[in-house]
Structure 1
Amino acid sequence: MVRPDTGLPRFEGGPSVPVVSYLLVIVILAGLVAISPGASPPPVLGMAWGVLLIVLTCSAVKIENVAPRSFLPPIRTIVPVLGAVAAFWGLYNLVAVGLALGGVSGFGTGLSRTAFHPVLYLAALLSSLLFTAIPEELFFRAYLQQKFTALAGGTTRRAVLSGVGLVSVLFALFHLPRWFLASGHGIGSALATRLFALTLMGLAYGVVYALTGNLWLVALVHASMNQPPLIVSVSIPSELHLVVGMIEYAVMVSVVYVTVRVTDSDGTPIVWTQRDASVSAGD
């Protein structure tokens, strides 16, 4: 069973709590990027940022009178979570190998760095999971998405879509400090394309979380997208990045949906079966 048997948390704060929390995160991130404007921050700074984001999220949900531990799925969901992620990347590698054997440009038949150095890959994946994926998904999906869904009316389809859509845009804007301060890019078509791609990424992660309510799953998907476990060498042309990304996200969501249907007794996504926690508690 990949999804926990829980509904929306009963948030007691108003809309100002997530708004102030988000603005605070952007300001602090911009400050850190200004301090270390390189393409990749020092490992210590990256770790500190991940811990800080978790602390800020826990502080916000404490103000909302929600226990941070309520966002953590049961251990029993780990097996189906790993199965869903393995299925996605197994399918991805099958396609990549097939394209490589077919001589498609951008897909080589040689082994990737992941295959040559699996231990180093696992270390990089673990670092990405602990200090990037879990903190970001805890803040954006577990807190902000559920908070805005609750503000939009609870677990109706319209409310869920509103929460997913709004937080996807906020997730894209979250990357602007690095775009302007670290990468030195300006305003133009490249920025619009980047924001659109990041919004699509946020939509994919948001739908995965809406379908499952499982922080471990969405965080592991996020981390593995940052560190793709590809067996063969892949170098996709820049003009195809957006198209390939759209295909990746569609397949990812499809695999998760099938996993939910297979592993859950009623086969219905959590967002349309669970009631608001305040209702289920008898309020």
Structure 2
Amino acid sequence: MLRPDTGLPRFSGGPLIPVATYLLVITVLAGLVTISPGASPPPILGMIWGVGLVALTAGALRIEAVSPRSLCPPIRTLGPVVGVVAAFWGLYNLVAVALAMGGVSGFEASLSRTAAHPLLYLAALFSSLLFTAIPEEFLFRAYLQQKFTGLVGGTTIRAVLSGIGLAAVLFALFHLPRWFLASGHGVSSALAGRLIGLTLMGLAYGCVYVLSGNLWLVALFHASMNHPPLLVTVTFPPELHLVVSVIEYAAILSLVALTVRLGGAAGTSLIWSQRTISASTGD
């Protein structure tokens, strides 16, 4: 079963804990970007950052009297998780190959770097999953999103959507230190587009997390979107990036919602199950 039988954690702290945690994360990240400017950090620094992000989040959870382990889904859910992500990318590749064979602009009937160098791709995907996707989703979805949901109420659509939205905005802002300090971008239309794209990404991942309750699923989608396993060469013009992203996220959410519903898991809507309501209210 894809969705673990868990509810909203019962956080014992107030709103200052997530705020302080986020500000600390941003401060440390800005310091690392200043030390190592560039489009991406050296591998060893990226590994240290990923481990550090998990440690900071785990520390905040300890203060909240929530066990970090309780937010990690059971190992038995890994099979369904891999199956859902593989199904998405399988369908994506079918469409991409068909468009490439049809001569559609942006789709070339030639092997992508992923297909030409599968072992290198798998190494990059695993590294992204372990040191980027899991640490970031652990902070933004497993902790901040659920914390904000609990603060707003935890039992209504409004609370759940507020949690998703607040975490998505913070997720977008989280990426700005490297955008400003390392890439040299200023306040421009490019910045607005970047923020909108990252916010949509955060909203999509937040909805996947609400629908599935599975950290591994949202992290694997995150990592594979960072490193798309496309078999043919696909190049979208910059002006279409946002449109393509919306289509991709809509497809992901549709597939996850269908899978959860077919799996018979309770609570496929944006309202938490009764067990979750009881956990958040202490009844």
TM-score normalised by length of structure 1:
0.97
Residues 15-30 of structure 1 mapped to structure 2, 5 A cutoff: 15-30=15-30
Which residue of 2 is the match for residue 172 of structure 1? 172
Which residue of 2 is the match for residue 64 of structure 1? 64
CA deviations 1:36-81 (Å, max 9, x no partner) are 0111110000000000000000000000000000010011111111
Which residue of 1 is the match for residue 162 of structure 2? 162
Go from structure 1 to structure 2 and tell me whether the alpha carbon gap of 1:265 and 1:67 turns closer, same or farther (over 3 Å shift): closer
Tell me the SS of whatever aligns to 1:144: helix
Tell me the SS of whatever aligns to 2:233: strand
Which residue of 1 is the match for residue 145 of structure 2? 145
Residues 5-16 of structure 1 mapped to structure 2, 5 A cutoff: 5-16=5-16
Give the conservation status (yes or no) of the 8 Å contact 2:2–2:212: yes
Which residue of 1 is the match for residue 207 of structure 2? 207
Residues 181-260 of structure 1 mapped to structure 2, 5 A cutoff: 181-260=181-260
Which residue of 2 is the match for residue 40 of structure 1? 40
Amino acid at match of 1:20: A
Mapped to 1, the partners of 2:210 and 2:265 lie a distance apart of 18
Alpha-carbon RMSD across the aligned residues, in angstroms, is 1.5
CA deviations 1:152-192 (Å, max 9, x no partner) are 10132111000001110000000110110010000011101
Give the conservation status (yes or no) of the 8 Å contact 1:80–1:259: no
CA deviations 1:217-247 (Å, max 9, x no partner) are 0000000000100010111111111111111
Number of aligned residue pairs: give it: 283
Structure 2: tracts of 5 or more residues without a match: none
Mapped to 1, the partners of 2:191 and 2:282 lie a distance apart of 48
CA deviations 1:135-168 (Å, max 9, x no partner) are 0000000000000000010132111000001110
Q: 1:268 offset after TM fit, Å?
A: 2.8
Tell me the SS of whatever aligns to 1:143: helix
Go from structure 1 to structure 2 and tell me whether the alpha carbon gap of 1:51 and 1:240 turns closer, same or farther (over 3 Å shift): same
Confirm or deny that 1:97 pairs with 2:91: no
Residues 263-274 of structure 1 mapped to structure 2, 5 A cutoff: 263-266=263-266, 268-269=268-269, 271-274=271-274
Go from structure 1 to structure 2 and tell me whether the alpha carbon gap of 1:140 and 1:76 turns closer, same or farther (over 3 Å shift): same
Give % identity: 72
